[in-house]
Amino acid sequence: MNFPKPDEYPEYDSAYIKYIPDSDNIINVLEESRDELQSIISSLPEEKGNYSYAESKWSIKEVLGHIADVERVHSYRAMCFARDETKSLPGFEGDDYVKAADFNSRPLSSLAAELLSLRNANIALFKSLDENTLLKRGTANNYGFTVRGLIFAIAGHELHHIKILKEKYL
């Protein structure tokens, strides 16, 4: 699957897509980042899950929950557009979702299991899509996307947060 063109995703997603290595196999990128994040989570003691590097920053558990929320929203959008949805889909505010979720009350193992299940389900969906479907377009939060653009945004968003976890939390 080729990299999406800039008109396949909003400008703000370019900040995430830049993290994707120069590869023509986004499925491999999704599998490798899944495995890397699972390795990071499994290396953490439970008491570290609520750690935040600054007062106004999310905890590790909140970062993991945020990764899951964004992937869930983007994969839903990708599925809708792949199925020819013509209605504009709503946006969402990540900070509000994190506040409402109470991720800090959950065990790290619960968040790890959720992320693993979510990613595996999405990989199965994305593998089923042909080239024509990957180029289907839709609108969410008043921005245009292709299915392919959303898949790359999912991968890049996770890679972005893995980098932050390594640099600021671990």
pLDDT digits (tens, 9 = 90+) for 59-82: 999 999 999 999 999 999 999 999
Mind listing the pLDDT tens digit for each residue in 21-69?
887 799 999 999 999 999 999 999 999 999 999 999 999 999 999 999 9
pLDDT score recorded for residue 101 = 98
What predicted TM-score, i.e. pTM, was given to this entire model? 0.96
Mind listing the pLDDT tens digit for each residue in 101-116?
999 999 999 999 999 9
Burial 61-76 (b: 16+ CB within 10 A, else e): bbbbbbbbbbbbbbbe
Domains of the chain: 6-43+57-169 (1.20.120.450)
Distance, in Å, from the CA atom of 32 to the CA atom of 38, rounded to the nearest integer, reads 10
Distance, in Å, from the CA atom of 16 to the CA atom of 19, rounded to the nearest integer, reads 6
CB 161 within 8 A of CB 17: no
Distance, in Å, from the CA atom of 166 to the CA atom of 48, rounded to the nearest integer, reads 14
1 pLDDT more than 90: no
DSSP symbol at 165: I
Residue type, 67: I
pLDDT score recorded for residue 61 = 98
The dihedrals phi and psi of 76, each to the nearest 5 degrees, come to: -65, -45
Beta bridge partner(s), residue 146: 137
The dihedrals phi and psi of 144, each to the nearest 5 degrees, come to: -90, 140
Alpha helices in 18-146 (DSSP H): 26-42, 60-82, 94-101, 108-127, 131-134
Q: How far is CA 82 from the centre of its chain?
A: 18
Task: Taking the CA atoms of 28, 30, 81 and 83 in sequence, report the sign of the dihedral they define.
Answer: positive
User: pLDDT averaged over the chain?
Assistant: 97
Q: How far is CA 118 from the centre of its chain?
A: 10
